[in-house]
Each structure stands twice: as structure tokens, then as C-alpha cells.
Chain A
């Protein structure tokens, strides 16, 4: 099978859908003439023209709102945020307009829109460019939130997100755009809201999603050498969450570590822990552990970044704790 980069998988998802449906367009900063800040949309202006691949001024609030308005009136916009850090100046339109219009109009106006771009840390970028807001968006009814962990999933999930009739927040990573993976040339879709067991195991479950899945997988591999069989569940979508797959895995392994690049308070990992203690209490042989980003802004210095982000060593330590080893 051919191998392509994560960014190419995203581009294929958008381009395939745009070829089929003329109401889909891509809008954002540097998406057209610059070929994308991270080259996700490279070549799309040449194929689809300036009517459908649209450069904006630096005005996230304005173009997010224009996207929502267009979505309420017959189009299917893909709005790119250069990073989700910048989505905070647009969050009014995501939360108050996109997520609310269907409900507050009594079902008259749905908003088929995708807000996409990279999330979380990406090197030494300091505090304003290193934040993960997956749980912020996942908290809000009316939205769906997708966080793929590899190129194959990203393509199938983005195609589903574009065809979804409700607003979808689709969160990528600068540190994944260059990742290469086998992706079939034949068209496929991956449904939103379905987790994927990326690695089967019997001793302990690790639940994670997005870029930090790499850390979870690396830890699992390392632990296997020590004779610990780890099952790794990739949530893929954090609203809705596929609790069924998580609970079933915990019922099998009886132990759970959740790994997430996000601040701990009210995080997805702590949400999972609540659900598991409620629905699988009798199956648990140890308290649930969460490995998250430190409860501080992410600083610039590499030593401080290392001290904050989840890494394989920290995950291995957590797994050993829930195994009492």
C-alpha cells in the first residue's frame, strides 16, 4: 500500500469531498496562496480556485462567524484555525452560534461546519502556543470533537466530519503533519464517536487520543518487554466518547491508565475515570490513574517542557502503580 503523510491524508479527505460536493469550501489564514501554514492545503487553490479555497485576514472571530452564517444558509464550510490557540478569539462563534443555532431555532437551522487545525504543544513555543482545548470544546453540547492519532484515521474521520450535518471541531497536531503511514487509495469513512483498540492486551488498559497516543503506544511496547500486556484504546472522538469500548476493555483488564495532553482539572481523563468507577467499579483492581500535562502554563525551556508533558516513562510508572509492581 502507498505511504503518505498525515497532512496529505487530511488534504485528500478535503479534496475528495470537495470534488463531490460543490457547497464545501475551505477558508482560513494562509490556506490558499501560501498553500497552508503547515502545507495541509497545498495545491488545493490550484485545483479548486479562489472561490473555494479562501485566504482570510487575521480575524478568527470574523471568519468563524462567516463560516457559521454560510453553514446556516446552504454551504458546508471547512474553517481552518492556524492553531486552536487562536480559536479562543473565535470561541464565541463556535460555542454561542455554531453549537446553539440548531437548538435555539427549534431544529430549523442546522450548522454543517468543520473547524479544524492543530492543537496542543509542538516544541518550544511557550505558553500561548502550546494549549490543548479538546476538553473545552468537548464540554459543549451541540458540537462533536474529533482528535485523530494517525493519518489513516484522520482521513476517514475528516471525511465523516465534513459530511456531518452538525458542527465538528477537528483537532490535529503540528507534530503529526509529517508522520507517514499506509493509507489506501480507495475511498473510506470512519464513523465519529467510535473508539479504536490500537493494541490488544490483557493486563492493563491505556486510554488516550490524538498525538499523545504515540506516548501511550511507546509505553505499551516498552512494558511488553517486561511481560506486561497493555491494551491501548484510542478514543478518536472525545465528543461523543465511546464509553462502551472503554468499559469493555477495563472489564477485561481490570486496570486503567488514561493519558492525555491537557491540564488535569476537568480533563477528558478525569471524565473517563468517573465513568469507569461508576460503570465498572466491581471490575477495578486498582484506582484509575491519569497522566496529564502539569497544572501550569507550558513554559519555553526544554527542561520544563520535559517536566510537564506526558512521556513514556511517566506512563510506564503509572501502569506499574496500577499493577502494584
Chain B
């Protein structure tokens, strides 16, 4: 009870309402994404964020809009959390010219420069040095901005991560490395890939402040992120946060999930991060049934609008093939 009271003091009603609506939007958007994927409206590889929403929500609330964000290919929720209208994400997955990446990136390459979301990267661990480099630029330019560099648990076994951790720590770059540990790298559990199962401990090899975080609880994410961001802003360098989370759906849409039990999935669904936020709102009488309905209907309207926008938008014209490859307008492509 004491802990609940603390939370009441730390976070306002408005914050909880914001978290709830934002996380619900991510959830409903991804559920819709799964549905239209099955209808083959979306093609290619498609990785859903369902279950992990507290990480983006707590990160967004603990950072400023000038801060930069980068992640791997499970990337639909991050830009939406940062304020990109979901219709641009849906249109991108529909391969439409109105998508945030003009239909050239698809599900794995969502970008929004306006919202400082630097993608959307498809090679596991490849975004980790990029995130360090984004932070390098912030430090070089003398801003107080930070970069939040997210990755899955699979990325921690890549060499790129270790090289980036080492340099980020040596040069005290303002970067927060976030491992979204949903326990499975595709179908291979964390335990099967190394003797080191506590992923946050990998940061200790580089003297990096590192810790595990309850990634299913938005308050815990926010608090850990707030501390890490403050460290980065005051010039003390990176932090590694291992967010312990869970994805309810498969690695991608084509995953039969033979590597885990239905019971395990159910166990995690009972600690659902969105339901926890709702419970706090209800316990404090900050929301009634009408309030819940209003939020749900706003979210539904946004998701419906996104699908309609994507459906009605055109595909890129063939000439787009040669655009956005070079920023130079007259690059002489080999065409015959």
C-alpha cells in the first residue's frame, strides 16, 4: 500500500490517462495490423509489439521531444508513442506512397524525422552502433539531447553491440541502451544462447551503469528511464536497461510458437501492462466507465482512420524506384 501511495504522488492522473490511451492505441493498432496481415493487406515480415507497450510509453514520458529514438524491426509502436499519426505507419505497411517511408520501407523500416524516430532497422544489433552515433552527434553539437537505442534480447549476442557499448562508455555518449527482453530471439530462448542470462550484466563489462527493470510496469520503466536520461544529460554517459517484458504474439506473423507453452503466454497476459494502468486509474477513481468508453472510441476511430487511409492511398508510381536512393537529383543509374 505504501508503494501504491508513492506512485500516486509521483505520477498524476493526467500522466496515467496519457499512458493508458497511448498504450491502448499501440495495442489496438497492432491487433488491427495482425488482422489485416492475415487478410494479406500487409506483406513481408511483420513483428507485433503486443505485450511490450509499457516500454515505449514509459520511455516517451521520461524523455523530451528533442531526444532521438532508434530501434530494430519491431518498430510500429515507437513512432506512434512519439506522436506520429498511426495512419502513416499503416499506410507504410500497406506499401502506399503516403506511408511514412513512402512505401519503400514497410513494416521493418518505419521512420519519422519529424518525431526524431530514426527507424526501423532490419539487421539484428545493427542499430546499436547507429544509436551510439546519434548520441555522438548530440554530444559533438553540444546539445543536451539523448538517444534511446532499443533492441531485442537477440541483439545482445551480436559483436556490434559490444563494440558500441565499449565506445559509448569510453566517450561518455548520451545514449540509453534498452534491451526489450521478451525472452525469445525468434524461437531461441535467452538461456540457450549464452551462459549469461541476466542481460543487464553485459553492461558491467564496460563499467556501464546497468540494471534490470520491470518492463511490464510503466511506472518502473519511466523511473529507470528518467534516471538514465538524467545521467546522459549531465554528461555522465550511457546506461543499459534490461526491460523484462513479454510478447504475446509470435516473433513475426509466420511464427507457430512451438518453443513456448500457451500457459506461459497466459501467465504473462495476466500481468498485462495496460490493465495495470487501468487498475490504477480505477482504484483512484480517476476514470469511470464513460471515461473508458471515450478513450476506447477515440482509439478505435484512429485505428479505423488508419486502415481507411491506407486502403485508399495509392501505391508508389514506378518513377519512385529511382527516387530517394541518392540525395543528388541526377544520379546516372544504369538502366540498360
Question: Which residues of A pack against B, CB within 8 Å?
Answer: 23, 25, 51, 56-57, 59, 61-75, 92-93, 96-97, 101-110, 141-142, 144, 164-166, 193, 240, 278
Contact = CB atoms under 8 A, between A and B. Distances in A.
A30 B102 CA distance: 41
Given A70-B137, A75-B137, A57 B129 contact: no
A286 B140 CA distance: 57
Q: Which of B104, B130, B132, B167 has most chain A Cβ within 10 Å?
A: B130
A66 B111 contact: no
A144 B325 CA distance: 11
Contacts of B134: 69-70, 72-73
Given A65-B129, A68-B130, A25 B140 contact: yes
Nearest to A164: B328
Contacts of A23: 140-141
Nearest to B141: A74
Contacts, number: 157
B163 A106 contact: no
19 contacts: A23-B141, A61-B163, A62-B132, A65-B164, A69-B132, A70-B133, A70-B136, A70-B137, A72-B130, A72-B133, A75-B140, A97-B130, A103-B104, A106-B101, A106-B105, A106-B111, A109-B111, A109-B118, A164-B328
Contact of A66 (B99, B132, B336): B132
Interface string B284-300: 00000000000000000
Given A51-B140, A165-B327, A105 B132 contact: no
Contacts of A108: 100-101, 111-113
Contacts of A66: 129-130, 132-133, 136, 164, 167
B105 A142 contact: no
A96 B129 contact: no
Contacts of A62: 129, 132, 160, 162-164, 166-167
A141 to B, nearest CB: 6
Interface string B179-206: 0000000000000000000000000000
Interface string B113-153: 10000111111001011111111111011000000000000
A102 B133 contact: no
Contacts of A166: 326-328
Given A96-B122, A105-B119, A67 B332 contact: no
A102 B131 contact: no
The 10 A-B pairs of least Cβ separation, nearest first, read A69-B133, A65-B129, A62-B163, A106-B102, A106-B101, A105-B111, A107-B324, A73-B137, A66-B133, A69-B130
A61 B332 CA distance: 30
A72 B167 CA distance: 18
Contacts of B136: 66, 69-70, 75
Q: Which of B111, B159, B162, B326 has most chain A Cβ within 10 Å?
A: B326
Contacts of B328: 164-166
A96 B122 CA distance: 8
Interface of B: 68, 70, 99-105, 109, 111-113, 118-123, 126, 128-138, 140-141, 159-160, 162-164, 166-167, 170, 323-328, 331-333, 336
A104 B105 contact: yes
B214 to A, nearest CB: 29
Contacts of B104: 103-104, 106
B33 to A, nearest CB: 19
Given A103-B325, A106-B99, A108-B101, A96 B170 contact: no
B133 A240 contact: no
A73 B133 contact: yes
Contacts of A240: 331-332
A256 B155 CA distance: 50
Q: Which of B112, B118, B162, B336 has most chain A Cβ within 10 Å?
A: B118
Contacts of B326: 102, 142, 144, 166
Contacts of A103: 104, 324-325
B324 A57 contact: no
B167 A106 contact: no
Nearest to A54: B171
B126 A107 contact: no
A68 B133 contact: yes
Contacts of B327: 102, 107, 110, 165-166
A107 B102 CA distance: 8
Contacts of A69: 70, 118, 129-137
Given A65-B133, A65-B160, A103-B324, A59 B167 contact: yes
B82 to A, nearest CB: 14
A104 B163 contact: no
B285 to A, nearest CB: 44
A102 B113 CA distance: 12
Nearest to B129: A65
Contact of A107 (B99, B109, B123, B323): B323
A192 to B, nearest CB: 9
Contacts of A63: 129, 163, 167
Given A61-B129, A65-B132, A69-B132, A102 B325 contact: yes
A104 B166 CA distance: 28
Nearest to A107: B324
B128 A65 contact: yes
